[in-house]
Amino acid sequence: MGQQNRMPEPPQIVTSKDYSYLTDALSWELDIIKKFNHFAQETQDSKTKNLIKRAAQIHQKHYSILLKHLNPANSAAKINQ
């Protein structure tokens, strides 16, 4: 099987389809962040609490990365409709 080449950077233009996918992904990330934060508050075990908080932080980082692609101030993400 051929190996796919990965792009080193996202493309300069974000299509409406890309925009739709990114907004969906943001929604998914936000949902899981809320759930992890809720479960971190509910658990009494400190190790479990720390693991859940770490998972929430990872998804918060993912959310921030995705949000950069939708930010109109970000000149690299021009929306092409």
**Where are the domains positioned within the chain?**
13-71
pLDDT of residue 47: 98
Query: Which SS3 state, helix, strand or coil, does residue 65 take?
Result: helix
| Element housing 22 (H / E) | helix 16-42
| Element housing 80 (H / E) | strand 78-80
The per-residue pLDDT for range 26-38, each reduced to its tens digit, is 999 999 999 999 9
The per-residue pLDDT for range 16-70, each reduced to its tens digit, is 898 899 899 999 999 999 999 999 999 999 999 999 999 999 999 999 998 987 7
Among 32, 36, 25, 35, CA closest to 70: 25
